[in-house]
Amino acid sequence: MSSRIEILNAGGYRSDGRRQYELRTINIDLFPQGSAADGFATLSHGLTQVSVCVFGPREAKLRSQTFHDRANVNIEVGIAAFSSSERRRRGRGDKRILEISQTLKSTFDPVIQSSLYPRSQIDIYVQVLQQDGGLLQACINATTLALANAGIPLTDFVCAVTSGVHSTSPLLDLTLLEENDLPNVTVAVMPRSGKVSLVTMETRLHVDRFEEIFRLAGEAGKIIHAEMKKAVKDRTERLVAPMQSLGRPATGENDY
Amino acid sequence: MFEFTSFRRPPETFSVSSPDNADADMDEDYEDFLESGETKLTWPGESLTSAQDYMRGHGTYVDNEQVIASVTGIVERVNKLITVRAARTRYNPEVGDLVVGRITEVQPRRWKVDANSRQDAILMLSSVNLPGGVQRRKLESDELQMRTFFEEGDLLVAEVQSFFGDGSMSLHTRSLSYGKLRNGQLATVPPILIRRLKSHFISLPCGVDLILGLNGYIWVNKHVKQNEREGEEGFDAEAVYSSRNDEIDESTRAAISRVTNLITVLVSHSIPLTDTILLDAYDWSLEQECDP
Amino acid sequence: MRPPSPSIPEREFLLSALKQNLRLDGRDFLEIRPIQLSFGPELGWVECSLGKTRVLAHIDAKMVKPQPERPFEGVITIHSEISPMASSEFELGRPSEEEVTITRMLDKVIRRSDVVDKESLCILAGQRVWHLRLTIHCLSDSGNLLDCACLASIVALKHFRRPDVEVIGEEVTVVCSNPFFVQPLEPQLDYLPSLQHEPTSRAPIPLSLHHTPYCFTFAFFSDASINPVLDPSLLEQRLNEGLISIALNAQRELCVVQKSGGVPLEPADVLKIVNFAVQKAKILDTFVESRLREDWQGRSVEVR
C-alpha cells in the first residue's frame, strides 16, 4: 500500500506537507482533568498521543519490591485498542508492551534520583491513545514531563526524537507511513550533557548513513527540549503566581 | 488518513535548520537573581550557579562544579545555600508538623497511617492516649484491642514526633486536641498550599471547624465546643475513640459542604489556604446566594 | 523473586580491576571469548559456544499453506526457551526481563532485518510455502546469551539445506525427502533412518539469505574512567549499568542498534563503538565462512 505514496516529492515536501527537517506539532497538556496523580502529562507529536500519570513516591505495595537504599520505579504501559488503524487489543503480557516498558524503565532509572526515597515506590502509568509513528519518542517525552510535574528529582530531561533516511535525504519525526518504509532510528538525548541515553534502530542501514541521522536526531532533541521546557515553565508559573501574590510561604515548609 | 495529516499542518513549526530562540530568555543569568529577591523558576537539568561559591541544598545536585536543579519549582537562597522548592510534590514531613492521616494497616503495637508522604507514617501504640487516664502503662490487653482505638480506614489528626532511620515518620496523638476524626468531610489539596500557621485548628464563625493538616489533608467538621474538646478530668474514652457521627443539623451540613467546595475551588486556582482567605470566600459565596 | 545480586566485595573487585584496565578473565576490553561452532549430524543443527555460554540452534522446515495476505512468502518462526537449565535465574513459564530482550532482539535480527529471502521459500503461490522453524535452546548462561544466540541462529540458517521439490502442475513432489539424506562420514551414525531414495533425488538446497548479521554487545559502567567492554561475562553482565547491542553484517550495514536506557553515552562514543563493531563483523564473518566450509567438506552428498 505504501509504495504508491511518495515519501518525499520532487518539491521537497513529505506526504503530510512537512519539509525534511520539520517536526510535527507538539501539544503538551500538563493539567490533569480530575486525576489524582502527582504528576500528569498528555503529549502529542502530530497524531501520536500519549498520556502519562505518575504516582508517588509513595508507600510500596509489595514489601518484596522495596529497596532499602532507593525507590522502586514501576512502569506500566498500555496501548489502547483503538489507537491504531487496525483495532487490536494487546494484553499485559504482549512482548511489544513489555519491551517498551522495559526500555522506559532502563531509560529513567539512571535519571530519577531514586536514592532520595528509600523504601518507596514511584509508579508511572503510560497510556498510548493514538499511534502515528514515533511511539517510543512520545512515551519518553511524556514520561519526562510527568515526572518533572510530580516534583520528582531528575538529573535532566530526556528528550527523544526519531529520524529516518529516504534514499539519501534524512527526515525527522517520522509518521507511521514513513516509519514503515524507511530505516529509522530513535534517539533520546539528555540536553544538559548532550549525552545519549537511548538509541534504537531496527532496520538495515549503512553505517555512514546511520551516523548522519544519528547526529541529526541528537540536534533535533534540543528543539524538543526547548518545547518541553516551555510547557513546564508555563505550568510552574501558573501554579506559583497566586502563591506569590498572596505573600511568600513561610520558610522551611515543605523542604526536602 | 494521509490527507488528514496534512490538514493538521502545524501553525508554527520547529525546524532544526533555524531553531527559534524561545529559550534564550529562559537561560538568563541566574547570578543576578541570586542577589535580588525576585522569584525564579527552574526545572531539572537547569544550571543555577557555580558550586564553588554556593552550597547545594535540597532539590539540587552538583555536577562539573555547577549547582544544578533537579526538581521543577522555585529557587530559594539562604545566604550561600541554594535550594529548589518543588511547585508540586508529596508532603515532606518535619518534626512538630500537624498532619491528618488515615489508618491503612494495623500491625503489632503500631498502626500504619497514610499521610500523603513518600512512605506511610507509623503511629506506635505507645504514642496514643489510652482510655482511663493520660499516663498509664500499656497493657497486653491494649495490644489485643488496638482495633477498638483505630481501625483501617479511620481518620485521625496527629503530630509528627520523630523520624525513623529510613526517613519514615512517627506520629503521636498525645494531646487532647489530637485523635480520631468524625462529623465531617475530608478535602485533599497539594501540601504546598497549606501555610504554616499559628494554629491549624480553625473555627469559622459559620459553625464549622477546620483542621489544616500540613500534609495537604484538610478535615472540615462540625464545630466542637471548647470544653467538649478538652474533655473533663476523666478523659472520656468513649467519645475520643467513637466512630459514630453526632447529630448534624441541615444548616451545618450545608456549611460544611460549602467550605469544602470553596477549598476545592481555591485550590484549583492554586491559592494558598489561610483562615482569612477562607472566611472572605465564605462570606462572598453567601452574598452571591449560590448553592454550595 | 529477584535473583540475588553479586556480593559487594565481588562488585568492588570487578570495578576496581576494570578501572585498572583489567578484566577478570584476562581478556582485552574489546576481545570476544573464543567462539566454537560445532555442527550436528543434521543440517541446520548448530551448537555455538562463547566461552562457557552455550546455545543450541536448530532449524527444520515443513510445507504449509501461506498466510492469505502474503501468498508468495514463506514463514519463519522463532522459538526460544531459556530454561532454568541455563542458569538458576530463569524460571519456567514467566519470561524474565532478559528473556524478553533476547527474544525481541532475535526477532529483530533474524526476521525484521530480512535475513532470509522469504519469497524463495514459496513453492506454489497461495498453496504451498516452506515454514522454517528456528528453535533456540540456551544450554548454559555465562554472560552474553544474546550474541551467542544470534550467532547460533545465523550459522544454523547458513548451515541448513532444505529439501528440493518438483512442481508439476498443482502437484508438489519432494525429490529429496529429508535433510538427513546428507550424512556425515562418521561411521557411528549408522542409526540414521534408511531412506527410500528416489532415483531422481537431488541434493538439498541451501536457503537464499540476503545477508548475515552478527550481534555484538558492549557493556559499560557509570564510572566514566571504565571503557566499554565487549562480550560481557556473567559477572560483568550482572553489574553493568548499560548495554548497547549492535547487529550488523560484513557489508557495513547496521541491522539493529539497541541501547535502551542505562548510563548515557557521548554521541561520539556511540559512533566509535559502531565503527569498532564493523571491523569485528568482518573478522567474525570470515571465521564463520571457513568453519562452514570445513564442515561441508567433511560431509558427503550421496546423490545416486
Ordered domains of chain A (ranges, CATH): 2-243 (3.30.230.70)
Q: Is B105 on the interface with A (CB under 8 A)?
A: no
Phi, psi of B72 (to 5 degrees): -85, 125
Q: What is the mean pLDDT of residues A178-188?
A: 91
Boundary residue ending a domain (B52, B67, B87): B87
Regarding the domain delimited by C27-300, which CATH topology (the fold level of the hierarchy) does it fall under?
Answer: Ribosomal Protein S5; domain 2 (3.30.230)
Q: Please indicate whether, in this complex, the C-beta atoms of A197 and C112 are within 8 angstroms of each other.
A: no
Answer yes or no: is B15 within a domain: no
Do B200 and B73 belong together in one domain? no
Decide: pTM greater than 0.90: no
* Interchain proximity C113–A203, CB inside 8 Å: yes
- What are the domain boundaries of chain C? 27-300
B236 within domain boundaries: yes
- At residue A203 the predicted structure's pLDDT band, cuts being 50, 70 and 90, is confident
Nearest to A228 by CA among A193, A195, A199, A190: A190
Average pLDDT over all residues of chain C: 84
What residues in C contact A203, CB-CB < 8 Å? 112-113, 255
Give the residue on B whose Cα is nearest the Cα of A56.
B118
What's residue A23's pLDDT?
Answer: 93
Cis peptide before A242 (omega within 30 of 0): no
What does the pLDDT average to over C94-106?
82
In a domain, B67, yes or no: yes
Residues B262 and B140 in one domain: yes
Same domain? B70 vs B163: no
Smallest Cβ–Cβ distance between C261 and the set A98, A103, A195 belongs to A103
Beta bridge mates, B68? B47, B61
Domain termination residue (choose one: B38, B55, B87)? B87
Residue B11: inside a domain: no
The total number of structural domains in chain B stands at 2
Q: Which of left, alpha, beta for B79 (phi over 0: left; psi -120 to 50: alpha)?
A: left
Q: Are residues B249 and B110 in the same domain?
A: yes
Task: Look up the domain containing B270 and give its range.
Answer: 98-287
Q: Can you give the pLDDT at residue A175?
A: 93
Is B292 inside a domain boundary?
A: no
Mean pLDDT, all residues of chain A:
88
Task: State the Cα–Cα distance between residues A40 and A27, nearest whole angstrom.
Answer: 14
Choosing from B87, B110, B137, the residue where a domain stops is B87
- pLDDT, position B186: 93
- What's B70's domain CATH number? 2.40.50.100
Identify which of B77, B24, B22 has the alpha carbon closest to the alpha carbon of residue B49: B77
CATH number at residue B207: 2.40.50.140
Interface subset of A 196-225, CB within 8 angstroms of B:
216, 219-220, 222-223
Q: CA C50 to CA C155: how far, in whole Å?
A: 14
| Amino acid B18: pLDDT | 36
In this complex, is the C-beta atom of C255 within 8 Å of any C-beta atom belonging to chain A? Answer: yes
Q: Could you say which residues of chain B have pLDDT below 70?
A: 1-38, 132-137, 226-239, 289-292
pLDDT given for residue C128 in this prediction:
87
Q: How far is B129 from chain A (nearest CA, A)?
A: 26
pLDDT of residue C156: 94
Residue A144 has pLDDT above 90, yes or no: yes
- In this structure, the answer to whether residues B146 and B261 fall within a common structural domain is yes
Contact A185, A200 (CB under 8 A): yes
Please answer yes or no on whether A117 and B195 come within 8 Å at the CB atom. Answer: no
Do B66 and B137 fall within a single domain?
A: no
Q: Report whether pLDDT(A138) > 80.
A: yes
* H/E segment holding residue A72: strand A72-79
Find out whether A153 and A177 touch, Cβ atoms under 8 Å: no
Residue C300 has pLDDT above 70, yes or no: no
Asked whether the beta carbons of residue A150 and residue B88 sit closer than 8 angstroms, the reply is yes
Which residues in chain A (19-78) have CB-CB distances under 8 A to chain B? Answer: 19, 21-26, 36, 38-39, 46-47, 56-59, 68, 71
What are the pLDDT digits (tens) for C132-166? 999 999 999 898 999 999 999 999 999 998 888 88
